[in-house]
Structure 1
Amino acid sequence: MDDIDVTQIPEPGLVVLDVTAHDEATAHAVIAVLEQTWATSGITPVQRVPGVPGVRARVHADIRRPVTPPDPLNSPYGAGA
């Protein structure tokens, strides 16, 4: 992973998270949970380094901007979906 620099976190509330997981599916699952809480960039391509266990990925998030939960009454799948 490249080093994090000041342009990626220019103000409070912005974070860069490096995720190390056993496999690609686990890394994607972790990022999916983060995306339900904060505004994120989405996952970067997952990297595997030969000889190093697991995979790595990075996500940028703005923890000042919580994700708005969907309105179940206006859901295209019906109330309570």
Structure 2
Amino acid sequence: MEPINEAHLSQPGLIVVDVAAADDPTAMAFQETIAARWATATAQRTSRVPGQPGVRLRCYVDLRQRIDI
């Protein structure tokens, strides 16, 4: 996997989550867990780097908007 680059967001409480996982189901399961707790702009698919193992996924989370379970 390549290094994760910094991303700057305009307000406190907004975060970027870069996930590196072995496969699509694992990355999506992690994203679903985060999205069940906080307002999250989810990714519809993962990305792959040719010749590299695993997948990557990026989602944006608003920690100020907690979802009550």
Q: RCO greater where, 1 or 2, for CA within 8 Å and sep 6 or more?
A: 2
Output aligned runs, 1:42-61, within 5 Å.
42-61=42-61
For residues 55 and 33 of structure 1, the distance between their equivalents in structure 2, rounded to whole angstroms, comes to 17
Partner of 1:13: 13
Describe the shift of the 1:44–1:3 C-alpha distance in structure 2 as closer, same or farther (beyond 3 A): farther
TM-score between both structures, scaled by the size of structure 2 = 0.84
How big is the shift at 1:3? Answer: 4.9
Partner of 2:26: 26
Q: What code does the residue aligned with 2:27 have?
A: A
**Residue 63 of structure 2 is aligned to residue 67 of structure 1:** no
Q: What code does the residue aligned with 1:21 have?
A: A
Q: Give the secondary structure class of the aligned counterpart of 1:11.
A: coil
Paired residues in the alignment total 67
Question: Which has more strand, going by share of residues?
Answer: 2
Q: What code does the residue aligned with 1:58 have?
A: R
In structure 1, stretches of 5+ residues that fail to align are 70-81
C-alpha distance after superposition, 1:20-67 (max 9, x if no partner): 100001000000000111000012531011111100010000001101
